Structure formats: C-alpha cells, structure tokens
Amino acid sequence: MALSYGLFICLLLWGSMELCYPQPLWQGGARRPVRSKPPLVVECLEAQLVVTVSKDLFGTGKLVRPADLTLGPEACEPLVSTDMDDTVRFEVGLHECGNSVQVTKDALVYSTFLLHKPRPVGNLSIVRTNNAEVPIECRFPRRGNVSSQAILPTWVPFKTTVFSEEKLVFSLHLMEENWSAKKRFPTFQLGDIAHLQAEVHTGSHVPLRLFVDHCVATPTPDRNASPYHTIVDFNGCLVDGLSDASSAFKAPRPGPETLQFTVDVFHFANDSRNTVYITCHLKVTPADRVPDQLNKACSFSKSSNSWSPVEGTADICQCCNEGSCGIPGRSRRLVEQWHQSASRGRRHVTEAADVTVGPLIFLGKASDHGVEGSTSSFTSVMLGLGLAMVVTLTLAAIVLAVARRHQAASHPVMCPVYASQ
C-alpha cells in the first residue's frame, strides 16, 4: 500500500516514470563516456591562431593520436605533447599553414581547417576512427584599433608594407581551351595551341596590374639553356606571333591581376628531346597606372599587319616593330640579366618574379623512330613465323606421303581368282 501511494505521489509531482526511475549511465556493461570539456577550442589572437584539440575528439573514448592531426592546407603539425596530456595544441601565425584571408566590408576573415587523418598503427592494416575535417575561422573587425598597445611610429607601417609586398605570389599555368581550369595532362601534338595564364596573388595588397615582360622556351628548365626560342620580348611584345603562328594575348583580361595568352606549340628541330619549358619574367604595376612602353601586353595581327595592346593606346606598341622599348637594348640583353640577377638575389625586388611552366610534352616526336622500328620488327617476326609454319606443313605432308607409299609397297593387295566350271 505504501509503495502504491509513493508511485502515485511521484506521478502526480513529476508526470513521468523516467524521472522516478532514472536510467543508469551504462547499459550492457559498457559505460558511456561523459564529455567534460569541448572537443575543440579556438583562440584568435592578434597575430596568432591557437587551437586546442581534445584527444577524445569524437567523444567515444577512443583517443586520437597527435600524429594524425594537422592544421591547414600546408599540414602544419602540432606542438610536442606527452602521452599523459589529454589535449593536442597548435600555435601558428595567422598567415601560416596556408590559411586564407578574405576582406569583407566590416571584417578580416582568416579561414583554415583541422584535419584528422588516421593511419594504421604498427603492422596493422586497419584504423578504428574516421577522417574528419573541422573548419576554423577567425574574424577581426576592420574599424577601430584591435590592439591595446600604443600607436607605433610611421616607419613601422612602412616596414610592414614592404614585408607584405614580399608576400606577392606569381604563378604561370597551362590551362584548358576554355580557360576554366588548369590543364590536367601537358601533352600536345604539333598544330595544337597552348593556353597559358599568368597571375599574381596580392592578398590584402593594393590593386595591381600584371604584365608578362619576357618569355623564353627551352628544352630544359634552365632558362639559359640552348637552343631557345623567344616568345615575348621588348617589355611585353608577343613576338612569336610574327612568324607563322597565331600566338596572341587574350583581351579583355579576366582581371588586372591576370593575363592570358596563347602560343602555337612547336619543338626544336635539331633536338631529340620532346619536352619544352617556358620561363616568363612577370611584373606588376599599380592597377591605376596607365600602360606605357615598359608596361604593356601587345599582340601582332597578320590581317592588319599591326600591333595592338590589351589595354592602353596603340602607340605604346609601336616600339615592338623597332625592337627597342624603353631603355635601348634592354630587352635584347634580358636573358643575360636573368642569369646575373639570379646570382645577386631578388629579395628586395618584390614587384617582379621569374616563373617556369612545363614540361610541355609533344607526342610523336622522340618516339617516331622507335615506333617505326618496333612496327617493322613486329612485321618481320610475323613473316618469319608464317614462313616457318608453311615449311613445317610442307615437310609434314611429304613425310606422310612417303609413309603411305612405303606401307602400300610392303602390303600388296591380293585379288581373288574364280575358276570356271
């Protein structure tokens, strides 16, 4: 009676049997882990990103290994930790590990990710945890001073600006015909057209305009190798279009920081190698600067027998016919200057860079003789096999005929004789 009364009071007060008889924290003898701290803690400091990861990342009680955790596209490794630590810690700069930065109207947004990629332990070939990619983001307001420190003298921002300029990243890529993506396979046939795209990644830099100052093709990555063929010369004249090629800059640009151009593919006639590397000297100017003879992108049109710029007035391309733009003789000596500048170093020349793309592989050049030889060898082998088979069958037929004659001579046929009555 007392038990029934207690149940009635419990139901009246709580309205649920689950509250009166709570379930245990474990079932079937397996205790469920109770998480006491968040699996991931991110601290966005003024110039640093600190990420603290619990080794019980998935909350299952199975601890992840620090060696299976990396941060960002460049796979930065965590700080050294001991087996007794229950967390793994990353401390990196905001611009390190391949972190991307985006400038919005009100904030600077730094984005990266934590990657968990488990690997088998020891001689085992199995893993017991899943791959995981956790996005991480730090947002800093653009308005106001986010630092509590005093304002520094004006030379510090200038030093910071120089450091930022040294972060400019120049690139040169082979592209698909529709310019939508990088070319997957750098193979060509003679008569094809190579699509090249030069870019500069400015980050938070002021807007810049990119130019291709000079390009040379060589059979090896060494830009001073011989033989060589000049594609762009005289501070932006695409001289390869003067020959029987249709090489030209693409207009208009996708953006001031990008310049696209096409080159009719070729190979070196007196060289047995079927590879070509293209090295270009890229440079930038402020995007609002008007193009001139030293900073231009000019293509030659056979139909009009004249030069035309991607942007700017037509007179900036007139020096392409003269073969001397800006400083006299500068373009003609550019290959030698490249070699000299490489020895001096270019740490403080941040507005230009030399970039190489390649190899461009031409099918059917180096392997022509080999293919022809293998084909003739294959034909010779097949003819030899056929002739041997004919000889073998002929000998077999002769041996069989001789054997039959010998058998007929040793066993004469007896014909019956009938006597008349």
For residue 289, which amino acid is it? Answer: R
Name the CATH superfamily for 171-362.
Answer: Zona pellucida, ZP-C domain (2.60.40.4100)
Give the integer Cα–Cα distance in Å for 232 and 168: 22
Q: Which of 132, 111, 102 is nearest to 49 (CA)?
A: 111
Class of domain 38-141: mainly beta
Alpha-carbon 352 to chain mean position:
22
Q: Which residue, 170, 292, 194, is CA-closest to 234?
A: 292
Q: What is the pTM of this model?
A: 0.47
Indicate if 171-362 has the same CATH topology as 38-141. yes
Q: Where are the domains of the chain?
A: 1-32, 38-141, 171-362, 374-404
Report phi then psi at 358, rounded to 5: 150, 180
Q: Give the number of other Cβ atoms within 10 Å of residue 218's Cβ.
A: 22
User: In degrees, to the nearest 5, what angle opens at C-alpha 253 toward C-alphas 323 and 321?
Assistant: 15
Closest listed residue to residue 215, CA positions, set 201, 188, 194: 194
175: CB partners within 8 A, 6+ apart: 181, 182, 183, 195, 196, 197, 260
Sequential pLDDT tens for the chain (421 residues): 444 545 444 444 444 444 444 444 444 444 555 556 788 899 998 889 999 998 888 888 888 888 889 999 999 999 988 878 889 999 999 889 988 988 888 888 899 999 988 887 766 656 667 788 899 999 888 765 555 555 555 454 544 444 444 568 899 999 999 999 999 989 999 889 999 999 998 776 678 999 999 999 999 999 899 999 999 999 999 999 998 889 999 999 999 999 999 999 988 888 888 899 999 999 999 999 999 999 999 999 989 999 999 999 999 999 998 888 875 444 444 444 444 444 343 333 357 899 999 899 888 654 444 434 444 444 455 666 667 777 778 787 787 777 777 665 555 544 454 444 4
Element (H, E) at 43: strand 40-44
